[in-house]
Chain A
Amino acid sequence: MDIHTLAERLDLDEASCRDLLELFVRESRKDLKRLRAALAAADCGGVAEAAHSLRGAAGNLDLKEIMLLADKMESGARSGSLEKSAGLIRQLTVSLDNLAGEIAS
């Protein structure tokens, strides 16, 4: 994925797209922090909410990979299961770091 293609797809100019992506990364890192804390406290509701926020924002930027991961996490937490959450958080962290790398380059 490169910024140029994404910007086109989202009907934004590259600079705005970059700005939004940077904001997305910042906010999502906060969501991840909340996710880890909620998972540590075995708080299903907290996990679901943070995942929901992440999912929504990812959907706005059409970042399908991150959106799907967040969606899986939210579904699991809503049905009371946190077992996949740790793995999903790891995957999300990696995806987000990748994205941050793309933006920086």
Chain B
Amino acid sequence: MSKKIFIVDNHPLMLKFMRDLLEKEGHRVWTAADGLGCLELLESTRPDLIFIDLVMPNIDGEKLCRIIRSRPELDNVRLVILSAIAAEESIDVGELGADGCIAKGPFNKMTRHVLTAVALTERKEKKAGIEVLGLEDLYKREITAELLSAKNHFQLILDNLEEGILEINSEAKIVYANPTAIRLFGVPEARLLASCFRDYFRDSARTAVEQLLEGNKPEAGAVEKPLELKNKRVLLKVLPFTEGEASSSIVIVTDVSEKMRIQARLQQTQQMEAVATLAGGIAHEFNNNLLSVTGNLELLEMENQGQQFIEEHVRPMRRSLETMARLTGQLLVYAEGGKGQATVVNLADFIEYTLPLVRHTIPPSVQIKLETAEAPLYVQADYPQLQMVLSAAIANSVEAIADKGRITISTRRVTLDKQALSGRPGAAPGEYACLCVEDDGQGMDETTRRRIFEPFFSTKFAGRGLSMAAAYGLIRHQGGWIAVSSEVGRGTRVDIFLPAQPA
């Protein structure tokens, strides 16, 4: 019965021999010179049997078998490996999903085995004895064993690189990807291979990739800024690679997402230090001058008691002066921390005591949930200042919750090493206590979140007490910091870190 057969091998001699042989037997034959070519043929034709050479460029035999076996609609296609190295490496044909293996050798010996393989496809049941046909006709060659060992050596390196390595052909189709690349692209290998590299990038990232790949330039190229790939930020470097007439490119993909996060954190910390210094300087100057104005105003008042005109105008001046004094006071706290007295504070007790005091600022439609750590947690802090920090965080959450919602206050102990503290210079590795205030309110976008510690950014809190900027200043001067994370529509989380004290 006439069969549809594919031959996939990179040597034209093998392709011609197999084609002539099989066409003479009445079968229909298609040929491809590499794995990629075979996959392209499969888009339009479903064969009964595919002969696959193991060693080929642009998706080798092993990968090709795996890809074909990952597609259930090709389940009934028989795969027979053609191998020049069958003698050296006992190929686990079954593991590849192939149905048989023919060792390459003199054509007369191969003819018999090829026709046997075709005849076996007549059988309805598949896995009927996978054997290597023709093995007895070959002899072991030490050099090929060495070749395989070198290949395994490089495979080991590629498999364990932190960078993703891909090879793409001149049409940007992916013909190889190491495990890291497979992980970065987030799709199974069988889908990644033969897909188009460009398709994984969108918008400006896609434009950058196209520019990078256009014209098949002979020199190496790289993108200037990190591009977005499946929620990560990556750098790409392209190395053109020519072997004979075939040209392809090696692409090195480096995930810089973590590095960028750390850098952003560091930048923000440095910025805040700079602003704090500036703020402190200005606040002092203002304070001094405010004192002068206030003092002289008091004198004016005293001198002009009973003069209605004077009193009428002094009163609003006094009010303004009080506001100004309060604002500079907050700026000073932000810049220098408050002059407080640090004592050892048990966090659970502290929350229990402070919560009732701030309860009146929380509307009844907002639920409060408490989750304190099992073991007692102690920090060194000025009690009233810590109270102001907690109420500032709670006030933020209340503001974010439109009308119904929940605020969860929790404590936990964490051990932070140098890596976890990257981007926070000045924080020593060790044990920390974390007081967390989390809400399910409207959340903030990234731009707002980044500015939350700017003095006077959230001026609406100026009247209620401490702003987040001042809160940050207080905590910072006690050896800790505040971290804020937020998602628009989901909520905000404020983590207040202070060094943990032994009991």
Which residues of A pack against B, CB within 8 Å? 9-12, 16, 19-20, 23-24, 27, 34, 48, 53, 56-57, 59-62, 71, 74-75, 78-79
Q: Are B14 and A60 in contact (CB under 8 A)?
A: yes
In the assembled complex, the Cα of A56 lies from the Cα of B110 at a distance in Å of 13
Q: Are B143 and A10 in contact (CB under 8 A)?
A: no
Name A26's closest neighbour in chain B (CB-CB).
B12
Q: Which residues of B contact A62 (CB under 8 A)?
A: 106-108
Chain B binding surface, main DSSP class: helix
Q: Which residues of B contact A56 (CB under 8 A)?
A: 11, 84, 104
Q: Are B16 and A23 in contact (CB under 8 A)?
A: yes
What string of 1s and 0s marks CB contacts (under 8 Å) between B14-53 and chain A?
1011001000000000000000000000000000000000
Interface residues on B, range: 20 to 34
CB distance from B112 to the nearest CB of A (A): 8
Is B156 positioned at the interface, with any CB of A under 8 Å from its CB?
no
In the assembled complex, the Cα of A78 lies from the Cα of B143 at a distance in Å of 7
In the assembled complex, the Cα of A10 lies from the Cα of B20 at a distance in Å of 14
Q: Which residues of A contact B244 (CB under 8 A)?
A: 34
Is B13 positioned at the interface, with any CB of A under 8 Å from its CB?
yes
Q: Which residues of A contact B107 (CB under 8 A)?
A: 10-12, 20, 60-62
CB distance from A64 to the nearest CB of B (A): 10
Q: Are B146 and A78 in contact (CB under 8 A)?
A: yes
CB distance from A98 to the nearest CB of B (A): 18
Known: A16-B20, A61-B107. 9 other contacts (CB 8 A): A11-B108, A19-B20, A53-B11, A57-B11, A57-B13, A60-B17, A60-B106, A61-B13, A78-B143
In the assembled complex, the Cα of A75 lies from the Cα of B142 at a distance in Å of 9
Is B294 positioned at the interface, with any CB of A under 8 Å from its CB?
no
Q: Which residues of A contact B13 (CB under 8 A)?
A: 20, 23-24, 27, 57, 60-61
Is B111 positioned at the interface, with any CB of A under 8 Å from its CB?
yes
Q: Which residues of B contact A78 (CB under 8 A)?
A: 143, 146-147
Name, among A11, A20, A60, the residue most crowded by chain B CB atoms within 10 Å (CB to CB).
A60
Q: Are B108 and A9 in contact (CB under 8 A)?
A: yes
Q: Which residues of A contact B141 (CB under 8 A)?
A: 71
13 CB contacts below 8 A, A to B, read: A11-B108, A11-B111, A19-B16, A19-B20, A23-B16, A56-B11, A60-B13, A60-B14, A60-B17, A60-B104, A61-B107, A62-B107, A78-B143
Task: Give the contacts of B446-481 with A (CB-CB under 8 A).
Answer: none
In the assembled complex, the Cα of A102 lies from the Cα of B13 at a distance in Å of 19
